[in-house]
């Protein structure tokens, strides 16, 4: 056998070491060494399957000052993420097959890692048409308003969920309650979008959804919300690692939806670690000038795709969580939910990997690749990958991005030319 790439001395999840042989972007053999065009010795690294971040906002278009497909996916790869799922609350929102196809074409031209694109959920949206055009999932479906997303009233939401369920689609849900005047501080923001309201919103959505529907709850921020949910559950690094008391009261860099909670709530969220299906970043960058606006008018959202897995790897090094759980929640479970081939160490697996050193460093916002140039995680412990492989090709090495050929991952409803 001749291979494109061999990863030598990989420490497998089973505990043994072996060589992983890759050809055509797929694992072909695990075991004895073979000849290859490129060889990487993994004996000094922890080799993880590439992460799937199923909740990012890659911006672009009229929002290109914030982020675009190239800078956003460069940031992803530098953080060990090899597939991103873009949300549809773009400007304009993705509500037609034509807009969806244009978004996919933009990614095909500029992305440097694998990608999928979700469909917008609104009364006027052509849900069935976007399913056939390749939408991965439907949503964020907004049960409450957020940046560039209008909240849906209960009866409208009930009808849209029924339409999505009718063709077996996956609905991803932003569940919150919002009340009161515009918040002036981080604590006000927490009270305006309370954790108890989030849990009630989760229960309300469950009551509106048809029995047996495929539901995925995005960015839940409290233990009560995680326990209330059915379907699959996602949390973010910012709700795991940050609380609003870590920031000055008016620091808009820590403004996001759902809000950061208090320290007790943050710690309690960790108690649900085993019940969490997915960790996703909700990467939603805004420019420094936008974040410099008064708190009442500054937009919600933060960059996070590059720091997601490095933060979790630092927690592994501190023995707070297991390596196996990080692989499950950042790679294998998201792939299973989305129905895409998983990255891994068995023949037939997708050959996406990130190689992490032992050393724990600190996050330096100035060294990250997101276009916005700032991070609320600045100064926190992290372990960044030294090399990343996408589709069997080295995409990142010692700080340098290399040319790769990333794949589009369409949803299950995609009608290819072969099966029309």
- Which residues are annotated as part of the binding site? 55, 57-59, 89, 140, 174, 219, 282, 286
133 bridge partner residues: none
Within its chain, how far is the Cα of 237 from the centroid? 10
DSSP 244: G
In the annotation, is 153 catalytic?
no
Q: 131 and 119 in contact (C-beta within 8 Å)?
A: yes
**78: Cβ–Cβ under 8 A, 6 or more apart, which residues?**
306, 368, 369, 384, 385, 388, 396, 401
* Helix (H), strand (E) counts: the chain: 13, 19
Cα distance between residue 271 and residue 283, in whole Å:
24
Spatial contact of 51 and 323, defined as CB atoms under 8 Å apart: no
Known binding-site residues for Zn(2+) equal 55, 57, 140, 174, 219, 282
Residues 6+ apart with CB under 8 A from 107: 58, 69, 86, 115, 117, 408
For residues 135 and 155, the answer to whether their CB atoms sit within 8 Å is: no
In this structure, the dihedral spanned by the alpha carbons of residues 188, 235, 256 and 195, taken in order and rounded to 10 degrees, is: -20
Give the tokens for residue 264. 């007790």
Q: Which residues are annotated as a binding site for substrate?
A: 57-59, 89, 286
The structure tokens 């090399």 sit at: 387
The label of the residue with tokens 């993420």 reads 81
Among residues 282, 352, 364, 381, the one annotated as catalytic is: 282
From 47, 53, 59, 49, select the one nearest 89 (Cα to Cα).
59
Residue 227: CB atoms within 10 Å: 14
Between the CA of residue 332 and those of 57, 235, 326, 327, 350, what are the distances in Å? 21, 16, 9, 6, 11
Which residues, 6+ apart, have CB-to-CB distance to 371 below 8 Å?
65, 66, 67, 68, 71, 72, 285
Bridge-based pairing state of the strands 232-235 and 35-41: unpaired
Strands 170-174 and 214-217: parallel
Beta carbons of 60 and 68 less than 8 angstroms apart:
yes
Q: Which residues are catalytic?
A: 282
């Amino acid at each position: 056998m001749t291979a494109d790439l061999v990863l030598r001395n990989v420490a497998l999840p089973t505990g043994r070491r072996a060589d992983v042989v890759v050809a055509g972007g797929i694992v072909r053999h695990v075991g004895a060494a073979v000849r290859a065009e490129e060889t990487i010795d993994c004996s000094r690294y922890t080799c993880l399957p590439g992460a799937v971040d199923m909740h990012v906002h890659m911006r672009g278009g009229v929002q290109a000052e914030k982020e675009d497909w190239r800078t956003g996916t460069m940031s992803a790869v530098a953080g060990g993420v090899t597939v991103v799922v873009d949300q549809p609350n773009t400007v304009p929102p993705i509500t037609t097959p034509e807009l969806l196809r244009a978004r996919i074409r933009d990614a095909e031209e500029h992305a440097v890692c694998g990608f999928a694109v979700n469909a917008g959920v609104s009364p006027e949206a052509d849900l069935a048409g976007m399913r056939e055009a390749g939408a991965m999932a439907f949503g964020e479906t907004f049960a409450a308003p957020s940046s560039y997303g209008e909240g849906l009233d209960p009866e409208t939401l009930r009808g849209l969920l029924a339409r999505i369920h009718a063709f077996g689609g996956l609905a991803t849900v932003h569940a919150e309650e919002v009340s009161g005047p515009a918040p002036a501080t981080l604590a006000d923001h927490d009270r305006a979008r309370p954790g108890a309201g989030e849990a009630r919103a989760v229960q309300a959505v469950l009551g509106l959804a048809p029995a047996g529907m495929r539901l995925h709850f995005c960015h839940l921020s409290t233990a009560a919300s995680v326990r209330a949910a059915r379907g699959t559950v996602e949390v973010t690094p910012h709700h795991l690692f940050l609380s609003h008391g870590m920031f000055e009261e008016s620091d808009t860099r820590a403004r996001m939806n759902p809000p950061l909670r208090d320290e007790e709530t943050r710690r309690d969220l960790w108690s649900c670690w085993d019940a969490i299906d997915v960790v996703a970043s909700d990467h939603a960058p805004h420019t420094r000038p936008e974040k410099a606006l008064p708190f009442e008018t500054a937009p919600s959202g933060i960059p996070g795709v590059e720091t997601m897995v490095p933060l979790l790897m630092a927690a592994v090094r501190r023995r707070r969580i297991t390596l196996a759980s990080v692989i499950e929640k950042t790679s294998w479970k998201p792939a299973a939910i989305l129905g895409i081939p998983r990255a891994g160490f068995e023949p037939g697996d997708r050959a996406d990997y990130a190689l992490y050193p032992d050393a724990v460093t600190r996050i330096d916002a100035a060294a990250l690749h997101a276009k916005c140039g700032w991070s609320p995680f600045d100064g926190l412990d992290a372990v960044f990958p030294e090399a990343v492989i996408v589709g069997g090709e080295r995409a990142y090495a010692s700080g340098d991005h290399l040319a790769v050929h990333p794949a589009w991952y369409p949803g299950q409803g995609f009608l290819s030319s072969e099966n029309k």
